[in-house]
DNA sequence: TTAATAGTGTCTCTGAGACACTATGTG
DNA sequence: CACATAGTGTCTCAGAGACACTATTAA
């Protein structure tokens, strides 16, 4: 028998049937009498960074806060997590209720929980990122919602908060630490673009390679080599030609591509 | 003035001084009367995946659960978050109290919160990863703590739960969804190794390139090209030669290297 | 001396950038 | 026709793998 290290011996939790039965009974009794309110607990919310690329600009969906604290300030759509729903489910619900979107790419980003980030009480927020075709966002133009332009003050994947502006260049002073959350979303997205063509989530079902490149360039904040980009995308095996071409473009029309397995990303 | 889109007009939250004063008063009143217990709230914990590499094996620190539920089962060190501490602070405290470790590499991993992952009540757990030199772990050999060997049943960064075994090969059936959490930690770590030499966090301050390569190979679960590995590490600019060499090795001694900026990773 | 691993020099192969050239739409 | 962008072919350069060769220690 191999015994490489002097750590404590890991005896198994149970040995014979009687002991196991006693143990189960004790656990059952414990669960029945457990007082779920015995400890002070933080509040837990989800906040969703809904990102889109429109006209070569990276934009984020903002909602006006209807209540205190930070009433009337712009903020990320968010909400408290219900006890019976999963984290992902809560994010999807917030997206549906507050931004009128469903069936979009959604992934967990990071959890923010500094004491004092909310003046009311201790709030821990699990941030999610959603990527949406801008055509779907303008279809859901509703009161109290706006798209803010994301200005990234750092290069590459340095990280840090970003500046959010209106289309006229007026700064939006986001509520809470939401500018940090959007910054983290941009950092994450830039990282993913280096090894996946995830930008297609920001485009319609069929798109040209040029459009995909523009999306990548907008997110990355730098221009890319056209030839190399085409080669990489086609070599990834994730795109397939539709056989269709764009129309009415004033130059040679480009082939339209689609993603082979949307779920694979 | 540029007005590219038909979204709602983002008027600023305030206009003149009187309105601003009223607004502040309303917010202050709101904060004073807010009932922090008005909503059902989940419990929030941190769980820490303490990883180390010893003798070419990837290992994780486990503690025996002292209480129900899953009493006496092996699990990740964890604990409830206190209202006044940060998430990172809570993870560092758990590491100190339950594993006797401080001043180690620690980063947030992912947040797990499926309803039903804890039979007591709704528990949301923010998982952290810690990387430790194995010499520091065996120095903290304490009762009710053990190192489990991590067996990864998938290749690359596929992801999924992992199997944990004792050094004799007996499986540890971890409590809750902790096998999934460790799996996520391995996946994250493998991803990071592709573009950073983060493996040095699993080694003493001074180490040979061969040792670093072994650590990378153990985490990645595959062998690496020696020449290429050396070139990449030295080209990264993150390592510097100490001028010292290893001793008593039965062959030509290798140069010892150290990390230039430990905080930069 | 031999065994074993450290470390170097160099060739090849592959993928990215650069760039010239052809293709195909609109006005 | 001109113009603009799509898409291809090919050269070059940089990094990774492969491998031969030298260096240095313990036994």
pLDDT for the residue A213 = 94
pLDDT at B5 over 60: no
Is the distance between the Cβ of A231 and the closest atom of strand C smaller than 7 Å? yes
pTM, two decimal places: 0.86
- Sequence-distant (6+) residues with CB within 8 A of A189 are A51, A129, A131, A198, A219
pLDDT for the residue B10 = 38
CA of A186 to C1' of D12 (A): 34
What nucleotide is nearest A253 when CA is compared to C1'? Answer: C25
DSSP characters for A57-118? EEEEEEEE--SSSSTT-EE--EEEPPTTS-HHHHHHHHHHHHH---S-EEEEEEEE--TTSS
pLDDT at B6 over 70: no
Q: Which of the nucleotides in strand C have any atom less than 7 Å away from a protein CB atom?
A: 3-10, 15-20, 23-27
What nucleotide is nearest B225 when CA is compared to C1'? Answer: D17
Q: Which of the nucleotides in strand D have any atom less than 7 Å away from a protein CB atom?
A: 3-10, 15-20, 23-27
A50 and A166 co-located in one domain? yes
| pLDDT band for position B119 (cuts 50, 70, 90) | confident
Q: Is residue B156, in this structure, part of any structural domain at all?
A: yes
Q: Please give the sequence-ordered ranges of beta strands (E in DSSP) within B26-82, or none if there are none.
A: 43-54, 57-64, 74-75, 78-80
CB contact (8 A) between residue A115 and residue B85: yes
Strands B105-112 and B78-80: unpaired
| pLDDT band for position B27 (cuts 50, 70, 90) | low
pLDDT for the residue B20 = 55
| pLDDT band for position B197 (cuts 50, 70, 90) | confident
B47 and B168 co-located in one domain? yes
Q: How far apart are the first and last CA of chain A?
A: 44
Spatial separation of the C-alpha atoms in residues B192 and A185, rounded to whole Å: 18
pLDDT for the residue A1 = 35
Percent of chain B with pLDDT over 70: 82
Q: Is residue B235, in this structure, part of any structural domain at all?
A: yes
Number of domains in chain B: 2
pLDDT for the residue B62 = 95
Q: Which helix (H) or strand (E) holds A255?
A: strand A255-259
Instruction: Tell me the residue range of the domain where B174 lies.
Output: 43-193
Average pLDDT value for chain B: 85
pLDDT at B12 over 60: no
Strands B43-54 and B123-131: parallel
Q: How far is CA A2 from CA A5, A211, B43, B167, B168, in A?
A: 9, 59, 41, 7, 6
With an 8 Å Cβ cutoff, is A141 touching chain B? Answer: yes
Q: Do A53 and A200 meet the contact criterion of CB atoms below 8 Å apart?
A: no
Q: Which helix (H) or strand (E) holds A32?
A: helix A17-33
Q: In which residue ranges of chain A is pLDDT below 70?
A: 1-39, 139-143, 262-265
pLDDT for the residue B11 = 38
Phi-psi region of A221 (alpha: psi -120 to 50; beta: other; left: phi over 0): left
Among candidates A176, A71, A145, A46, which has minimal Cα distance to B34? A71
pLDDT at B210 over 50: yes
A159 to chain B, closest Cα gap in Å: 13
A110 and A179 co-located in one domain? yes
Q: Is residue B189, in this structure, part of any structural domain at all?
A: yes
Residue B172: its chain A contacts at CB < 8 A? 10
Residue to mutate among A42, A108, A176, with most B CBs inside 10 A, is A42
Q: Which CATH number fits the domain that encloses residue B116?
A: 3.90.79.10
More confident residue, A8 or B256: B256
pLDDT for the residue B120 = 78
Q: Is A138 helix (H, G, I), strand (E, B) or coil?
A: helix
CB contact (8 A) between residue B120 and residue A36: yes
Among candidates B10, B144, B179, B122, which has minimal Cα distance to B64? B144
pLDDT 10s digits, B82-116: 999 999 999 999 999 999 899 999 999 999 999 99
Q: Is residue A95, in this structure, part of any structural domain at all?
A: yes
Q: Is residue A214, in this structure, part of any structural domain at all?
A: yes
A222 and A95 co-located in one domain? no
pLDDT for the residue A237 = 85
Q: Do B260 and B240 meet the contact criterion of CB atoms below 8 Å apart?
A: yes
Spatial separation of the C-alpha atoms in residues A148 and A59, rounded to whole Å: 5
DSSP B179: H
Angle at A30 between CA A29 and CA A32, to 5 degrees: 65
A73 and A151 co-located in one domain? yes
Residue B12: its chain A contacts at CB < 8 A? 170
pLDDT for the residue B248 = 79
pLDDT at B30 over 70: no
Structure tokens of B22? Answer: 């009223």
Q: Which CATH number fits the domain that encloses residue A212?
A: 1.10.10.10
Is the distance between the Cβ of A251 and the closest atom of strand D smaller than 7 Å? yes
pLDDT for the residue A220 = 94
Among candidates B156, B160, B213, which has minimal Cα distance to B190? B156
> Given CA atoms B90, B93, B97, B100 in this order, what sign does their dihedral have?
positive
| pLDDT band for position B261 (cuts 50, 70, 90) | confident
CB contact (8 A) between residue B83 and residue A40: yes
Among candidates A116, A118, A71, which has minimal Cα distance to B25? A71
pLDDT at B144 over 90: no
Q: Is residue A27, in this structure, part of any structural domain at all?
A: no
Structure tokens of B50? Answer: 């303490």
pLDDT at B28 over 80: no
> Poorest-confidence range of A14-18, A163-167, B24-28, B51-55?
A14-18
- The widest CA-to-CA distance across chain B, in whole angstroms, is 82
A234 and A184 co-located in one domain? no
Which residue in the set A7, A13, A42 is minimally distant from B147, CB to CB?
A7
> Given CA atoms B113, B115, B121, B122 in this order, what sign does their dihedral have?
positive
- Which chain B residues in 115-134 lie under 8 Å from chain A, judged by CB atoms? 115, 119-122, 124, 126
């Amino acid at each position: 028998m191999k015994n490489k290290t002097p750590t404590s011996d890991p005896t198994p939790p149970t040995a014979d049937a009687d002991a196991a039965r006693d143990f189960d009974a004790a656990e059952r009794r414990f669960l029945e009498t457990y007082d779920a309110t015995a400890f002070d607990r933080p509040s837990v919310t989800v906040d969703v960074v809904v990102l889109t690329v429109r006209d070569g600009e990276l934009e984020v969906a903002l909602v006006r806060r209807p209540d205190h604290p930070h009433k009337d300030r712009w903020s990320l759509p968010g909400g408290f997590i219900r006890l019976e729903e999963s984290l992902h489910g809560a994010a999807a619900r917030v997206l549906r209720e507050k931004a009128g979107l469903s069936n979009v790419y959604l992934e967990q980003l990071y959890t923010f929980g500094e004491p004092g980030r909310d003046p009311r009480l201790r709030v821990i927020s699990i941030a999610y990122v959603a990527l949406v075709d801008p055509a779907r966002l303008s279809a859901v133009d509703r009161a109290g919602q706006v798209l803010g332009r994301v200005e990234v003050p750092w290069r590459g994947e340095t990280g840090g908060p970003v500046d959010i502006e209106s289309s006229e260049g007026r700064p939006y002073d986001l509520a809470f630490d939401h500018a940090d959350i959007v910054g983290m979303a941009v950092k994450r997205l830039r990282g993913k673009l280096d090894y996946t063509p995830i930008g297609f989530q920001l485009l319609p079902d069929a798109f040209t390679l040029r459009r995909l490149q523009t999306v990548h360039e907008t997110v990355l904040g730098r221009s890319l080599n056209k030839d190399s980009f085409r080669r990489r995308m086609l070599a990834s095996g994730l795109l397939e030609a539709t056989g269709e071409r764009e129309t009415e473009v004033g130059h040679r029309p480009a082939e339209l591509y689609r993603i082979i397995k949307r779920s694979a990303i």
